[in-house]
A and B are shown apart, each in its own frame.
Chain A
């Protein structure tokens, strides 16, 4: 391998963030225990530098590490989603960790490592890299989920997440082994060539199925969603907000890249499976969310349902001319979901108390009177998660359904719209409780949290009213990639 196709220059933002994470682990040793928020601020500056670095060069199209990594509009836009969720979650963590008495320095480097894993995942053009990136983002998350240790629910959710995550990644590795056996290759381009010549063999299809198990677990698609409510409920809320956006977006990035480039010619074989994931996730996620009394479990089932809507956008990817359209719909949906969801989790953090009380939907009663700004923002987030105008969630759902319609999946869109109606019931219930019931629970709103809520609410609203510029950026960066 020569230096030129290693392309270290193209991957500099990634290398910088990895080096920053390693450096932070060392620096943290010299920071006294009562001033760990300094580590947080350093992590934040690492995220921010990388964010502006990546956003200054969105349109590049390069390859690195001998064609194993792609640096293009698709990966760069998703990098912004990962880094943005990292920035917002770190801001929330600054106060959350102190308030819950779990302020330990290693939290922030773990988050940086996890984001590095997500970034590599969206660049991967080789199954070996997909596997490594998946583990690199997951292993820090296992630790972060159990970060509030000695609190039984955090430990328990970490064990569940870890055992099921390792189980599903074992399926994925075996799937990769079978794909390697069927095509003699692990790179997407070489696999694509081999598949185009030899077509589908049972060995290859078994491999694809097993690999999809690992990825569908990460994005919590039904029927691999069992862990989601428990983990989202037990994990520290900052971590939940972070992983519900980052890990999901990374999983979908890998699915899009693998299925749109390596297995493009097998669309007739994998499209029905993706449709099945879409239907099951949207229906079961939304129906199960109705009966939840805990807002954390409700948001967990909502995240399962949202995974289903992203699958709706992936379905048209098998239709040659539509794959760019599908990829940009996926990116736009993930960005909208990410902004809205982190905003909603920040409100959850504000209402949540250190003793674990305050996570019931009934605790939101009277929020509008005590803290009108917070309630207005939460209203906006709930509307956006439902997919009602004038929010970004509406534009994203519109975009996704338009892609599915273009591919001729009218019935799938009908299922999607019906499930959106079902979801309106439980999202709007939160709004009703906030504005119409009276209650006297306390909220904790430090400045960083107000900032996060403000930024996400403003972005949800502005990008809902004026989605044009962002859509144009997304479409022009993805054009011609798949």
Chain B
């Protein structure tokens, strides 16, 4: 995919966020010289192509009375894909990454209650026959990182 300089500027600014206003792209349109329609179409194209995984509100489940929890599984290589399918089949699994380690599957559970985290861990253990290690967040340190497009 070829990105123009303006596309890159747009991608960077879109990560910082748009205002909660009737026309969320109006400010970016003024800044980039692109029309709001073109910006909206670009966002749609980038979602379709997978360059963006999502556009919209970033919810903080902690503040909704809900909870996030990072979890890990050591999946035997010979059935890694099957285990991934089972894990991904749980609606509570928000992200799942393969990593190079004995613990080779790392996923994030997002649920509405703390109890649902434990319940989902147990359900994934039952469905996969593998131990789920939970790594709940105890403290979050502030970062200002954005991916430079």
- A, B bound: no
Which residues on B are within 8 Å of A, measured CB to CB? none
